[in-house]
Amino acid sequence: MQRASRLKRELSLLTTEPPPGITCWQNENQLDNLRAQILGGADTPYEKGIFNLEIVVPERYPFEPPKIRFLTPIYHPNIDSAGRICLDVLKLPPKGAWRPALNISTLLTSIQLLMAEPNPDDPLMADISSEYKYNKQLFLLNAKEWTEKYASQ
């Protein structure tokens, strides 16, 4: 019950006061299956891109983090080809930094920040990570190309 009322509150807040560049809604009236869109930030290779994400809220939420993945392909060192995201707030301690005080809005904002500032030292995609570290121009070119190919409307 706690989960349902908290999710309703979070969704209502996401609807009335969404973080800039982020939208989130229920998928097919299921409270535990959400969709989100993140707009690529200005001055990033993802600029003008619209990235769709899937959010699956576990039974034990908020004591366990939602599972979030990109549905839109994105060229990024911390996001793999299946859309999985390497981000500490998406994992439970001791490896992760999830705590029940966090919410879906904070997670989406953290993902948006990760898009703007990749963490090449904790990569899911080693090849993209080394490109980011050692050949940033090529990385930016590839990321921009993917954004135009997969994330433009």
Q: Provide the pLDDT for residue 52.
A: 98
pTM of the model: 0.95
Is 51 in contact with 114 (CB distance < 8 Å)? no
Q: Which CATH number fits the domain that encloses residue 141?
A: 3.10.110.10
Q: Provide the pLDDT for residue 145.
A: 98
Left if phi > 0, otherwise alpha if psi is -120 to 50, otherwise beta: which for 83?
A: left
Q: Residues 22, 55, 86, 90: which is the catalytic one?
A: 86
What is the number of domains present in the chain?
1
Catalytic status, residue 24: no
Cα–Cα distance between 69 and 82 in angstroms, integer? 8
Q: Which residues of the chain have pLDDT under 70?
A: none
Range of the domain at 11: 1-152
Q: Provide the pLDDT for residue 72.
A: 98
